[in-house]
Amino acid sequence: VHGSGKTALAAKIAEESNFPFIKICSPDKMIGFSETAKCQAIKKIFDDAYKSQLSCVVVDDIERLLDYVPIGPRFSNLVLQALLVLLKKAPPKGRKLLIVGTTSRKDVLQEMEMLDAFSTTVHIPNIATGEHLMEALELLSVFKDKERNTIAQNVKGKKVWIGIKKLL
């Protein structure tokens, strides 16, 4: 789901791991890269991660990293193959690597046989109820009690549909 907070959650997991090496592999940092340059940049992130005993790599927005477009459908097979090799490759002896990936298109990753490279998948839904919205607002501490009470009265028992990203 777009805007549900997947990237923020992935970054939080990485941060909470307290691993000495954390790197985010994001398509934002690869704008204008050729397929080959993208593959090299991704490989460098993994190579750097292998140098530390405990590392975490967040592969963010995987379908965008692959230049996936539903019309066609088109994507970079070169980047897909490179990513598959790196995701499935065991780290060197004595090294541990946590890889967290994010996507809004689980169906596409399933079709590309990439989901199997991850040991676990977690669905991050949008906030769907007024009660969940209030829990999120309380955790975020962005409103005063009086403002939160007013919001609570307006959303009580109602359905809402908002991602954490949009809420922030």
Q: What is the tally of structural domains in the chain?
A: 2
Any catalytic annotation for residue 6? yes
Residue 89 pLDDT level (bands cut at 50, 70, 90): very high
Q: Can you give the residue range of the structural domain that contains 110? A: 6-117
Q: Is the pLDDT of residue 99 over 60?
A: yes
Q: Is 88 a catalytic residue?
A: yes
Judged against a pLDDT cut of 60, whether residue 124 lies above it is answered with: yes
Place of tokens 């962005």: 142
Contact between 76 and 38 under an 8 Å Cβ cutoff? The reply is yes
Span 40-65, average pLDDT: 97
The answer on 107 and 161 residing in a single domain is no
Band (pLDDT 50/70/90 cuts) for residue 96 is very high
User: Does 60 qualify as catalytic in the annotation?
Assistant: yes
Of the candidates 12, 29, 51, 88, the residue annotated as catalytic is 88
CB 148 within 8 A of CB 127: no
Residues 107 and 72 in one domain: yes
Residue scoring higher pLDDT (100 or 130):
100
Same domain, 100 and 65: yes
Catalytic residue among 6, 38, 102, 103: 6
Q: Is residue 61 situated within a structural domain?
A: yes
CB atoms within 10 A of CB 17: 14
**Judgement on whether residues 38 and 16 belong to the same structural domain of the protein:** yes
Answer yes or no: do 96 and 26 share one domain: yes
DSSP letter for each residue of 102-168 = --S-HHHHHHTT-GGGSS-----PPEEEHHHHHHHHHHHT-S-HHHHHHHHHHHTT-EEEE-HHHH-
pTM: 0.81
